[in-house]
Structure 1
Amino acid sequence: MPPVTDFATPLDAARLAHLVRSHWRIEVLHHVRDVSFGEDASRVRSGHGPQNMAMLRNLAIPLLTELGMASIPEAVRWVSYETFTRPLELLQIP
């Protein structure tokens, strides 16, 4: 019996596994953006604002992860203690 999917053509196990992993990678990213940056509660809703903020959050996640701290909120707090110098250090700007 062929596997049941919503696709017009049957998928082999490797392709289906790849699609599932890709889906969950996006879900994890959205979860991190919402939990760490409160994206769902953001009041930026008009024009290009939401896309611009999502782009900045997507840029910040790997930069903050590189700090090696236990969590992204902890890294955000560390950066926020010196708002004029630490973001520049994070971006490796002298």
Structure 2
Amino acid sequence: MDPGHGRIETRTVRATPLLTCHDRWTGLKHGSRITRARMVKGVTTVEVLHGITSRPVERADARALLGLVRSHWRIENQRHDVRDVTLGADACRVRKGAAPQVLAALRNAAIHRLATVPADRTPEALE
């Protein structure tokens, strides 16, 4: 149970070695299913995630698999949230020529520069 951010969230993790029969993925060891039930302001939502890993079963029990998934999202949020949400990269429709790479470089430069501005949050630094 995770009561952070004003919500109650429970997670159930099941790992299975049954996916090893798939020879299309070299090194595949097993799969997992994580079920997350979240209650926010009395409304419950359920999300099911499926994953595969090359980690040996002895290094990827349910707790380790959950930790891997949670650390993935922590990295995603830290690295991409500013670019995608604050700077609007996801909404950008530029697709031709070198323009997408140029805009990405400009966003990266802006993120680097924003890191030097004293502010509690990145959106505040943009003001």
Aligned residues: 76
Name 2:86's counterpart in structure 1. 36
Return the letter of the residue paired with 2:115: T
Distance (whole Å) between structure 1 residues aligned to residue 94 and residue 55 of structure 2 = 41
**Please, which of 109, 117, 123 is the counterpart of residue 67 of structure 1?**
117
TM-score (norm: length of structure 1): 0.54
Residues 11-64 of structure 1, C-alpha deviations (whole Å, 9 max, x = no match) = 625x8646752x321343222212211112223221222222122212321321
C-alpha RMSD of matched pairs (Å): 3.2
Name 1:10's counterpart in structure 2. 56
Higher relative helix content: 1
Matched residue of 1:52: which SS? helix
Matched residue of 2:93: which SS? coil
**Unaligned 5+ runs, structure 2:** 1-14, 18-29, 32-51
Distance (whole Å) between structure 1 residues aligned to residue 100 and residue 124 of structure 2 = 24
**Unaligned 5+ runs, structure 1:** 78-94
Q: Which range moves more in the overlay, 4-13 or 55-64?
A: 4-13
Identical columns (%): 40
Larger Rg belongs to: 2
TM-score (norm: length of structure 2): 0.43
Higher relative contact order (CA 8 A, sep 6+): 2
Mapped pair 1:76 → 2:122 = no
Alignment of 1:48-59 (within 5 A): 48-59=98-109
Q: CA deviation at 1:69?
A: 1.1
Higher relative strand content: 2
